[in-house]
Structure 1
Amino acid sequence: MTQKADSLWQQRLHDFRDAVAGEPMPGCGATAVVSADLGLALVLKGLNLSQQHDASAPRQALIDEGNSLKQRLSPLAEKDVAAFEAFMAAVGRDREDDERTQAIHVAAHNAVEVPLETARLCDAALALSYQARAHIEQQFTSDAIAGARLIHAALHGVLLNVDANAGQLGSDAARDQARHAREGLAQRADALLATVTGDLA
């Protein structure tokens, strides 16, 4: 699986799976994006099929929002790969000097911000799942619940990259800010999932 030649989204599913199992990249961040995207697709499935049976403007608005989230989420898989590769390149520089240190701080910023951006979109997708609860017909609730659980797991998975890379940020303030954002997103995700699964069960 050659990352530079082909988009991750153009790979066959089993090729992506085998690359995850045996190559440095894609890692947990890109895998989390794919998982969240599939989870969102399951929520959208419940909305779309319900809409086919009984069209409504509020449901269509949720479908449109979900499609927009999907378009914003998908590119983050490759952004995660690029951020990780840049970080490893900075760490791997031969010379131990200020230039290398600065390069590591810059690369670490991207290696933290991409997973935080992913987590924020997962948060939005969970919020959409919560809003969708009243607009999904009973026969599709299992899909919606499974989707919300995938999104929740992806959010927690991608936050592990924040944990791994925040220590390389250039200041205590930047590290504290990243960790505070990470904790807030994790706590909100847990609360949202509890609400979604309770309402859709």
Structure 2
Amino acid sequence: MDESSTFRDLTVAQFVQRLASGEPVPGGGAAAAIAGSLGAALVTMVANLSLGRSKYAAHAGLNARVSADAEALADRFLALADEDATAYAGYGAAMKLPRETEAEKAVRAAAIREAAHAATMAPMRTVEACLEVVRLAESLAGRSNANASSDLEVSSLMAVAACRSAAANVYINLPSLGDESRARDLFERTEELADEVERLADRTREVVRGGEAREPLLEARS
């Protein structure tokens, strides 16, 4: 996408309308990244609702750090939505290249492999960013405003949805890479990351649902 039409500049309603249109872009990859951005934004909100409250003073350093990190993550996801859309558009363009002659077929095949790599790595970066979201959320569980504990759980659930959705976009492009070994490595790495995202989200839910108050993290202690 060009700079004048980035997803960050759209209203929610405009993005939904674009998503529902008959055009292939934006699609599931962009939707996954937007979901990740919402999850990160919720983590920021919970941290901000905890700062300045005496009850959570022992966790002030943690909440301040998480607030800044999650805010940056939310912004990164918006960029990833555009990146995913651009990558998919490039793949679509490669598929439309002429293939009448052997030379054209060779050019097209090379272009598809290159475009498939971009279309694979864009959602892969979304998967990686989702892991950062749930790490931050888990660190706040039991160390942040209890009145916003359900929002923290939702942030993790959004990250899980975003992660598994982005992973689906990774997997669909792997056969087009033209490299079975690379495809297998990417599949296994994506599964490892997604499993860890779900594990941390489960841990966040356990702490939230149990009403557990946790000790300050060692790194956050003064």
TM over 0.5: yes
* Cα distance in structure 2, aligned partners of 1:183 and 1:35: 19
Q: SS state of the match for residue 74, structure 1?
A: helix
Give the RMSD, CA atoms, in angstroms. Answer: 1.4
4+ aligned runs moved over 3 Å, structure 1? none
Q: In structure 2, what is the equivalent of residue 64 of structure 1?
A: 68
Shift of 1:70: 2.3
Equivalent residue for 1:20? 19
Q: Percent identity?
A: 26
Moved more, 63-72 or 83-92: 63-72
- The letter for the 1-side match of 2:43 is V
The superposition leaves residues 50-84 of structure 1 with CA deviations (integer Å, 9 ceiling, x where unpaired) of: 11324522221221221232232221010000000
1:108-119 pair list within 5 angstroms: 108-119=116-127
What amino acid maps onto 2:115 in structure 1? A
Any idea what SS the aligned residue of 2:154 has? Answer: helix
Q: Distance in 1 between matches of 2:85 and 2:29?
A: 8
User: Which residue of 172, 177, 181 maps to 2:180?
Assistant: 172
CA distance in 1, matches of 2:30, 2:195: 22
Output aligned runs, 1:150-161, within 5 Å. Answer: 150-161=158-169
1:33 maps to a residue whose letter is: A
- Tell me how far apart the structure 1 counterparts of residues 153 and 48 of structure 2 sit (CA, whole Å): 15
- TM-score normalised by L of structure 2: 0.85
SS at structure 1 position matched to 2:121: helix
CA–CA distance in structure 2, aligned partners of residues 73 and 18 of structure 1: 20
Which residue of the partner structure matches residue 193 of structure 2?
A: 185
Paired residues of 1:47 and 1:135 also in contact (CA < 8 A): no
Name 2:6's counterpart in structure 1: 7
Number of the residue aligned with 2:38: 38
Rg comparison, structure with higher value: 2
Q: Is the contact between residue 7 and residue 78 of structure 2 (CA under 8 Å) also seen in structure 1?
A: no
Q: Map Cα deviations across residues 151-182 of structure 1 (whole Å, 9 max, x no partner).
A: 11011011111111111002111111111112
| Amino acid of the structure 2 residue aligned with 1:19 | R
Residue 79 of structure 1 aligns with which residue? 83
Q: Report the alpha carbon displacement of residue 183 of structure 1 after superposing the two structures with TM.
A: 1.1
State the 1:144 CA deviation.
0.8
Q: CA deviation at 1:6?
A: 1.6
Deviation at 1:20, TM superposition (A): 0.7
Match of 1:176, SS?
A: helix
In structure 2, the partner of 1:142 is 150
Is the counterpart of residue 131 in structure 1 residue 135 in structure 2? Answer: no
Q: Counterpart of 1:101?
A: 109
Instruction: Supply the distance in 2 between the matched residues of 1:177 and 1:106 (Cα, whole angstroms).
Output: 17
User: Aligned residue for 2:49?
Assistant: 49
Aligned residues: 199
Structure-1-length-normalised TM-score: 0.94
Q: Could you list the per-position Cα deviations for residues 32-56 of structure 1 after superposition, in whole angstroms to 9, with x for gaps in the alignment?
A: 1111111111121111011132452
